[in-house]
Amino acid sequence: MHRRGILSATLAGLSGLFAASSQAKPASAVGARDKTKVVYHLSDLDRVSFTLSNIRNHYDGMGGPANVTIALVINGPALKAFHAASASVAVAHDIRQFARTGLSLAACGNTMQSQSVGVKDLLPGFVVADRGGVVRIAELQAEGYVYLRP
């Protein structure tokens, strides 16, 4: 390679580094990370304990609720597992624990209507997704939540 070619390549590389460094975050923001936001979608009754376990592992893996915001949106047959009158001891315990960590719990209003239940019939901590569970999920995704369906 000719010296001029080497010099041109070096200058081009340095220009690229300079341009990239001028767009870098300020030193005060280095190491700072936006809080991760995740929405879990649960509709299958046979996936309830698996999904709750995933949420628990997610909190543990992220170092706790201070580092991640998690929402759980439930529709379809899975909602039956969260009826206060028939919820298992394990599910009720998990929901109580998650509610303390700030887990957002939304139940699909359409599913609630089809199962003839109100929010008072569900475990404590639920809110109604009046326009539907899938609409609530789409809203959360528009707010920057990552969608997970274990």
Instruction: Choose between 57 and 29: higher pLDDT.
Output: 57
pLDDT for position 26: 43
In this predicted structure, which of 27-36, 47-56, 102-111, 114-123 has the lowest mean pLDDT?
Answer: 27-36
Which segments of 75-145 are extended strands (E)? 104-108, 126-129
Contact status, residue 73 vs residue 40, Cβ threshold 8 Å: yes
CA distance 146 to 112: 25
74 vs 123: CA distance, rounded Å: 13
Contact criterion met (CB below 8 Å) for 44 and 79: no
pTM for this prediction = 0.78
Q: What is the pLDDT of residue 20?
A: 45
CA dihedral 68, 127, 52, 114 (to 10 degrees): -150
- % of the chain surpassing 70 pLDDT: 78
Give Cα 22 distance to the centre of its chain.
32
pLDDT at 2: 59
CATH class of the structural domain 36-148:
alpha beta
* Per-residue model confidence as pLDDT tens digits over 84-142: 999 999 999 999 999 999 999 999 999 999 999 999 999 999 999 999 999 999 999 99
Given this model, what pLDDT does residue 81 score? 98
